[in-house]
Amino acid sequence: MSNIKLIALDLDGTLFNSQSKISSGNLAAIKSATEKGIYIVISSGRPFCGLPFEQLEGTGIRYAITTNGSAIYDITTKECIYENCMDRSITTPILSFLLSKDIHMDAFIHGDAISPKKCLEAAYKLASPAPLKKYIIESRTRVEDLPRYLEENNLEIQKMTLNFYPDEKGILVDREEVKAFLLQNPNITCVSGGYNNLEFTKAGVDKGEGLKMLARYLHIPMEDTMAVGDTENDISILKAAAIGVAMANATEDVKAVADEITLSNDEDGVAAIISKYTF
């Protein structure tokens, strides 16, 4: 009998199928597990406002590790039970650089998604899957001056997400220059969350640390945890969990660190691995 008591699930490319929906098979497996007293939690790069609340209703899922581990929420009460943001002294010079580039950027702040109005034009050019592109375009609060907005409202950023569009030759505009700039900054952790985006949090903040925080909060030993994911921002949590599971559609670097590989996100891979460990 498995001793797994907490299973962390990524959303995009993992729990979501290609249409950004949770299949009936995945929903049934999750509900069965939670009814047995197993914690099924979300582990996403998305902010709290970007969680699929309607789809999760009735599943028994209560907690969510959001923004790559920089914030953890109780979904039922909407309470933030943990948060580790970047100081404005870190983000202000980075934003100054990013705003000079032709990219789409989101600042995830206390569970909300804020984006400069100037970035909307780049959003329409993204080559992301249609459901994800629609989510990016329609779910953001857009402001004229992001640094000023942060300063005037005394706000700090949980995570930044950057998306890049291809030029006529298929080369992602400004991506390599932005990546080099971010990777040389010791104050942040920079990864990709899929579809060639770039995401950064405070240095040392990642999904793996988020899992450790939530496990401590729930008094669950790490040896009783499992995590499932598909992209670079999931590597830390797959390493942190006792059992790290990669989707069949995962990138090769994710598969390389995984203990197991399940079916793809369009084949109910989440349901398959949950059923295997919660029989």
Q: Give the pLDDT mean for 222-228.
A: 98
C-alpha 215/C-alpha 218 separation (Å) is 5
279 pLDDT exceeds 90? no
In tens, the pLDDT along 125-182 reads 999 999 999 999 999 999 999 999 999 999 999 999 999 999 999 999 999 999 999 9
- Judge contact between 88 and 156, C-beta under 8 A: yes
146's tokens = 């992001």
What is the per-residue burial (b if ≥16 Cβ within 10 Å, else e) of 255-264? beebeebbeb
What is the per-residue burial (b if ≥16 Cβ within 10 Å, else e) of 84-105? bbbebebbeebbeebeebebbb
In tens, the pLDDT along 37-88 reads 999 999 999 999 999 999 999 999 999 999 999 999 999 999 999 999 999 9
Q: Give the pLDDT mean for 208-225.
A: 98
Exposed / middle / buried, residue 13 (Cβ in 10 Å: 0-12, 13-18, 19+): buried
Q: What percentage of the chain carries pLDDT values higher than 90? A: 98
Q: How confident is the model at residue 123 (pLDDT cuts 50, 70, 90)?
A: very high
Domains of the chain: 6-84+205-277 (3.40.50.1000), 88-202 (3.30.1240.10)
